[in-house]
Homo-oligomer: A and B are copies of this chain.
């Protein structure tokens, strides 16, 4: 069984070696087992946990929240309820992000369509290059961008 050092852990979790040490300092995983020489040795369980942390980060969880979660985890089996609730809240948060992105994506796509239309207007008319009159909001029906407060 070979020892998994910080380099391999980095490769396998997608977190830089610097970040792995930082996460330990930050209380997200600590303390990792060491070899006699002082070098970190990650277990497979550590790697799974780090990979999961990475997913939490990738979905917008702050380091502070991850630390909270990690602390509960470290406290043992009695905290699974708390951890579940924390994840439920986070799942809802992720769904919100997805919805927001989808909504904004639609608007960006509409804008792209709008530009395509402008480009067609500007270059066509039987190959002649034309000065087109500025079009007010036209073409695509109901392009009214609503602002949210």
Residues of chain A at the chain B interface (Cβ within 8 Å): 11-14, 16, 44-45, 47-48, 50-52, 54-56, 58-59, 77, 80-81, 83-84, 87-88, 90-91, 94-95, 97-98, 100-102, 104-105, 107-109, 111-112, 115-116, 118-119, 122, 134, 137, 140, 143-149
Task: Say how far A28's CB is from chain B's closest CB, in angstroms.
Answer: 16
Contacting pair A48 B108 (CB below 8 A): no
A81 to B27, CA, bound (A): 49
Across the interface, do A55 and B107 meet the contact criterion of CB distance under 8 Å? Answer: yes
Contact in complex: B59, A145 (CB < 8 Å): no
21 A-B contact pairs sorted by A residue (CB < 8 Å): A11-B146, A14-B146, A14-B149, A48-B145, A51-B143, A51-B147, A51-B148, A52-B107, A54-B148, A55-B108, A58-B101, A59-B105, A80-B115, A80-B118, A81-B115, A84-B119, A87-B111, A88-B112, A91-B112, A98-B98, A98-B102
